[in-house]
Amino acid sequence: MADIVPIVMSQHELEPADDSPPPPGGVMTFGEHLEELRRRLILALMVPLPVAVLAFVFADAIRAVITAPLYSALEARRLPTQVQALSPVETLTTDLFLAVILALVLSAPWLIYQLWKFVEPGLYTHERRFARFLMPSSAVLVAIGLAVLYWIMLPLMLLFLVGFGQPGPTETFPIGGGPAPATQADASKPQPAPGDPGQSEQKQGGAATVEIENDSAAVPLATLPILDTPPASLRPGDAWVDAATAQIRVAIPTDDGRLEIRSTALVRDRSLMPAFRLREYVDFVLLLALAISIAFQMPLVILLLGWVGIVDVATLRKNRKYAFLACAVLAAVMTPPDFVSMSLLLGPLYGLYELGILLLVLLPPESLSRGSIVHDALDRVRRWRRRDRSARDGGTGAASSSVMPPPAGAIPRGAAPSDREPDGEADEDLRPEKIDEDEDPPRGFGGTDPAGEDHRDRDDDSGRPWP
């Protein structure tokens, strides 16, 4: 009996704890995978649910932030600054929808982290480096895309879309009185007899009646002041015309004894009256935000295609005109059917294509698999600067004397990787004793051995200009 106890304890020591993920490189059964997935899903939902409840409390502020660009565009076009809700529950359902969307956006780092912890045990060390680079870069690009959409693209798009189809003044009169221009309807009316203007005689039942037409110039007219800002002191019932929005504003008393300013829009006759629905506008903004978030992943997509060997820098540079055409088609599909919105998105899309080329030059898969991204990128920049300086100086010997020495740990061309001096943690990983014998040697995407010669780097430095 005493011989069995150590065996049972050793098996218990080999079992992982319930609250800890499986060790990297460990083998898990199908049931263990399902249990780990269940645990990660529970942990992932622990953050979005309370964030959604908190966001619903501040739903009014969130709605005000989303509708602010629309109100600004309406004010610029002197149109009513109101958004319609066509059902009693539309505002409530829209606030719930916004709360859920905002909770998912704010909880995205936590959700991605739980997904990462689920798939991390099945990845090699060099594969984890690729994932750790791509996920934060994707989040940064999404944040940049949403900022560009809210502060640059959306105001300009709404300013054009709101004012599209709005006609100019249909009828104008001179300031300070004077006869109004005669219209065709006035010319068709019977004119009074000469010497007796403003009177017409009719006979009813043998009796003559006289109708006196009112002179419009003698009727007193109510005049409202046109102000740029509300008056400093207001009384109940004060009314004026807002010069910026062309609205009549009236001071109305509230229950607490204060004054509230309410307004009504002044619109032109025979013109289009835009009336925007709250839910449709929110869906329009969120759809644009989703499209921008996906479009701004283009540099990472290009970088990943270059790492797996599908495309290279030379091919991307050669097909720039086709890339511009593809970006134009993509911008036309993702934006409303107008030229202004398409042009606003086309510029950033093509700029992201060029950024993808630059990233592929600076970050070949060999550098990332070695863990020396910054070192190798700075080394390439130094070599480009030395080459440009040598070209400006005509390739003389004086230019070569002023060239900066290579950084510590750089591999000379034609030298073996073993000649590289250790200069940090990335170089320590290249030593033979740091490689696990049970694990396959790390290889970059496309079958490139990072411990071997950097052929991609050599091809990129063969006299090509920056980048």
Per-residue pLDDT of the chain (467 residues; tens, 9 = 90+): 444 444 444 444 444 443 444 455 457 788 888 999 999 999 999 999 999 999 999 999 999 999 999 999 998 888 888 899 999 999 999 999 999 999 999 998 899 889 888 888 878 877 787 788 888 889 999 999 999 999 999 999 999 998 887 766 666 777 765 555 544 444 455 555 544 544 444 444 444 444 445 555 566 778 889 998 888 888 999 999 988 788 899 999 998 888 999 988 887 777 777 889 999 999 999 999 999 999 999 999 999 898 888 999 999 999 999 999 999 999 999 888 888 889 989 999 999 999 999 988 888 877 766 766 777 777 877 887 888 788 877 655 444 444 445 555 555 544 444 444 444 444 444 444 444 444 444 444 444 444 444 444 444 444 444 44
Domain boundary (211, 243, 265) is at 265
CA 88 to chain centroid = 31
The single-letter DSSP state of residue 152 is I
Contact by Cβ (8 Å): 274, 281: no
Q: Are 82 and 46 in contact (CB under 8 A)?
A: no
pLDDT of residue 278: 94
Quote the number of domains for the chain. Answer: 3
Residue 432 has a pLDDT of 46
Which amino acid is present at 105? Answer: V
Residue ending a domain, among 145, 163, 181, is: 163
Domain region containing 125: 20-163
- Measured in degrees and rounded to the nearest 5, phi and psi for residue 288 equal -65, -40
**Nearest in space to 298 (alpha carbons), one of 356, 347, 342:** 356
Residues 246 and 139 in one domain: no
d(CA 412, CA 193): 109
pLDDT the model gives residue 231: 87
Residue 243 and residue 157 share a domain? no
Final residue belonging to a domain, choices 163, 193, 209: 163
DSSP letter string, 277-317: EHHHHHHHHHHHHHHHHHHTTHHHHHHHHHHTTS--HHHHH
* Gap between the Cα atoms of 457 and 304, Å rounded: 17
Give residue 447's pLDDT: 44
Q: For position 381, what pLDDT does the model report?
A: 78
31: its two tokens: 């049931």
Q: Which long-range contacts (CB under 8 A, 24 or more apart) does 257-264 make?
A: 259/234, 261/230, 261/234
pLDDT at 443: 45
Judge whether 54 lies within some domain: yes
Q: Domain for residue 325, yes or no?
A: no
Q: Is the pTM here over 0.75, yes or no?
A: no
- The bridge status of strand 83-84 relative to strand 276-277 is parallel
Clarify whether residues 230 and 133 are in a common domain. Answer: no
